[in-house]
Amino acid sequence: MKAKHLVSMLLAGSMILGLAACAPTTNSGGGNGSPQPTGTDSGSGGASSEYLVYNVGEEPKTWDPQLNTSSMGGHVILNLYDGLVRDTRDGVQMASAERYELSANADGVEDTVYTFYLRDDLTWSDGEPVTAHDYEYAWKRACSPEMASPYAFLMTDYIKGAYEYFSGEGSRDEVAVKALDDKTLQVELKQPTAYFLNLVSWFTYMPCREDMASTGEGWEKDPAKCVSNGAFMLEEYKVGSHILLKKNPNFWNADNVNLAGVRILFISDATTSLQGYEAGEINVTSILPGAEIPRLLAEDPNFSSEPALGNSYFQFNMDADVVNDLNVRKALSLAIDRSTITDQILRDGSVPASAFVAPPFKLSTGESMRALDENGNVVEEYEIDPYSAKVEEAQAYLAEAGYPGGAGFPELNVLYYDSGNNSLIVEAVQQMWQENLGIKVNLQVQEYAVFTNTINSGDWSIAFTGWSADYNDPMTMLSLFTAEGMNDVRWRYKPYSGVPGDTILNPENEAYDNAVKMAAKTSGEERDAYLKEAEDVLMENMVICPIYYTTYTQVIDHGKVSGPGRTPVGQWDFQYYTVIG
């Protein structure tokens, strides 16, 4: 969920029981981010007067639905807003839309026109009606060249006229999204897209009220302006401390929301987060120190771990000196012992990675995207041994690049953000590159919001980051690196209006781009072949250096809270949770 950067191994999530909420305030103030009890809330309703407290880890830079790029902001958005459909463990379900119809376009191309019919009882948190015009505004807002939404590609790749509007070659009126009336929204796609409903469940497709969003940057952080249509509404935001969400009495499904509210904490330090849980101040958290995972697994029945749809990796700026050399990228990638990271640092079930798309992603045959051995373990691919460094091969590539034994190799900065076990991981890799290649790299840590700004600026060479699925299809991973996509690594064969500073072109990206486009409009085994072709191009050019396939790990105090767990893409949807103790 872009750059929905993954919070290292921990796709933050959690809940915690506090004692009730403070009165609404504006977003001034501070705090140290530690768990704090809340006071009694007398007007939220629901089955309990107590708030769930959820540690999201990093403080989100934004939770504007059309601007957010992080999983942290995504968790907030999912609880504030309700899309036309919603992703659940039982599949995509109708939400603010009660039904939809699928038909042919004017040229007779089947399955390209979606018509959504909204429920009759939809209102915003301030009592104003939610209409199809709000969805039309939000979707076109995401495609606006002025907005420059990093997630615009989730619309411009699919909706007719959207890319032309985004690139300045077309107009807003030509984007094929239209409110036929207050209750009916129609959208025409460029081609049939079997997973379009999965896209619509994502936060970029959430509705937005024009009168509030047009007031200027930061509107979503002000309780007076952040009107929402989901299970909760914004009650308070304290910079550096927490967000309070309280039950939205105007939500169409409010009768089935049992929480008075949710307190969202910003505790990025994994040890502090675990201490809060063990002290009874935090009842659910997925921000956990890797060194404690074995103990929790053995001793704590509240701990659980499951494979995730994500990958943590180093990415290379394809326009930066030195790392724009394929031999350098291969040397750096092959010199890493990934099993040391998963077995000695993470110890949470994460799997060493030899490619980009994680094993849980399936092809049309039901088989994994990954090559697996007879025991279901990942195997060597693209010259990467997931269980051991290939030192001799790495040294040979470095010598071919002109740096035998590391001689003459310039000092490079490795950029990462402060969260979870990121520091331990990059320090371990720094040592491996020193010992196995004879090169020195400097580590540069930034807060997440600053990190994203640096990545967007292009002023970096190597960065440790990751990606978790926006929807349950391999395309959610592979669409990242298309010429007109997010493409943080600046690997493009043609200019892109969304990143005007990316002027160094990479011809090899065209084959990747074409394969992804074909995968978007084909099906079955033909589509499988295009997905694999795209990943082949990505990995053979070593645009990213995969480190491990992630897991969802968390502790949940089942004696105090109950709920269905995460959505298929790892989000926490608190409308389905209950305080039970």
CB 47 within 8 A of CB 9: no
Q: Which two tokens stand for residue 329?
A: 């990228």
**What pLDDT is stored for residue 16 in this prediction?**
28
Packing angle of the helix pair 422-437, 391-400 (nearest 10 deg): 70
Integer Cα distance of 158 and 153 in angstroms:
8
Q: Nearest CA to 209 among 131, 115, 147?
A: 131
Q: Which segments of 319-447 does DSSP mark as H helices, in order?
A: 326-334, 338-340, 391-400, 422-437
- The CATH code for residues 46-78+209-301+556-580 is 3.40.190.10
| pLDDT one-digit tens code per residue, 11-42 | 232 322 332 222 222 233 333 333 333 333 33
Q: Which two tokens stand for residue 451?
A: 């990190």
Q: What is the 3-state secondary structure (H, E, C) of 47-102?
A: CCCCEEEEECCCCCCCCCCCCCCCHHHHHHHHHHCCCCEEEECCEEEECCEEEEEE
- Within a 10 A sphere around the Cβ of 113, how many other Cβ atoms? 18
**What pLDDT is stored for residue 14 in this prediction?**
30
Residues near 255 by Cβ (< 8 Å), separated by ≥ 6? none
Query: Judging by DSSP bridges, how do beta strands 544-556 and 51-55 pair with one another?
Result: unpaired
- In words, the CATH class of domain 81-206 is alpha beta
List Cβ<8 Å contacts ≥24 apart for 272-278: 272/34, 273/55, 273/57, 274/555, 276/16, 276/34, 276/35, 276/55, 277/16, 277/555, 277/557
Query: Is pLDDT of 435 > 70?
Result: yes
- Within a 10 A sphere around the Cβ of 442, how many other Cβ atoms? 10
Integer Cα distance of 326 and 319 in angstroms:
12
Integer Cα distance of 452 and 271 in angstroms:
24
In the sheet where 184-188 sits, what is the strand order? 97-103, 113-118, 184-188, 177-181
Integer Cα distance of 72 and 149 in angstroms:
17
CA dihedral 25, 31, 37, 39 (to 10 degrees): -20
| pLDDT one-digit tens code per residue, 214-253 | 999 999 999 999 999 999 999 999 999 999 999 999 999 9
In b/e form, how buried is each residue of 23-53, taking b as 16+ CB within 10 angstroms? eeeebeeeeebbbbebeebeebbbebbbbbb
The predicted model gives 449-467 an average pLDDT of: 94
How do the residues of the chain divide into helix, strand and coil, expressed in percent and rounded to 5? 30, 20, 50
| pLDDT one-digit tens code per residue, 463-493 | 999 998 888 889 999 999 999 888 999 999 9
Integer Cα distance of 354 and 335 in angstroms:
13
Residues near 579 by Cβ (< 8 Å), separated by ≥ 6? 17, 47, 48, 50, 52, 258, 259, 560, 561
**What pLDDT is stored for residue 229 in this prediction?**
98
Fold of 305-551: Dipeptide-binding Protein; domain 3 (3.10.105)
Of 22-26, 360-364, 459-463, which has the strongest mean pLDDT? 459-463
CB 577 within 8 A of CB 52: yes
E strand or H helix at 51: strand 51-55
Mean pLDDT over the full length of the chain: 89
Structural domain boundaries of the chain? Answer: 46-78+209-301+556-580, 81-206, 305-551
**What pLDDT is stored for residue 46 in this prediction?**
38
Integer Cα distance of 82 and 565 in angstroms:
18
Q: Which residue has tokens 């693209």? A: 382
Helix (H, G, I), strand (E, B) or coil at 141: helix
| pLDDT one-digit tens code per residue, 61-78 | 999 999 998 889 999 999
Residues near 42 by Cβ (< 8 Å), separated by ≥ 6? 49
Could you give phi then psi for residue 71, rounded to 5 degrees? -65, -30
The predicted model gives 107-114 an average pLDDT of: 95
Residues near 374 by Cβ (< 8 Å), separated by ≥ 6? none
Single pTM value for the model: 0.76
Positive or negative CA dihedral for 174, 175, 180, 186?
Answer: positive
**What pLDDT is stored for residue 520 in this prediction?**
86
Instruction: Tell me how many degrees the CA angle 347-270-336 measures, rounded to the nearest 5.
Output: 45
Q: Which two tokens stand for residue 256?
A: 């089935």
**What pLDDT is stored for residue 407 in this prediction?**
97
Could you give phi then psi for residue 343, rounded to 5 degrees? -90, -30
Instruction: Tell me how many degrees the CA angle 79-575-154 measures, rounded to the nearest 5.
Output: 40
Helix (H, G, I), strand (E, B) or coil at 149: coil
Integer Cα distance of 527 and 516 in angstroms:
9
User: Can you name the residues that pair with 362 across neighbouring β-strands?
Assistant: 368
| pLDDT one-digit tens code per residue, 491-523 | 999 998 778 888 899 999 999 999 999 998 888
269-to-17, 32, 350, 420 alpha-carbon distances in Å:
19, 12, 20, 6
- Within a 10 A sphere around the Cβ of 183, how many other Cβ atoms? 18
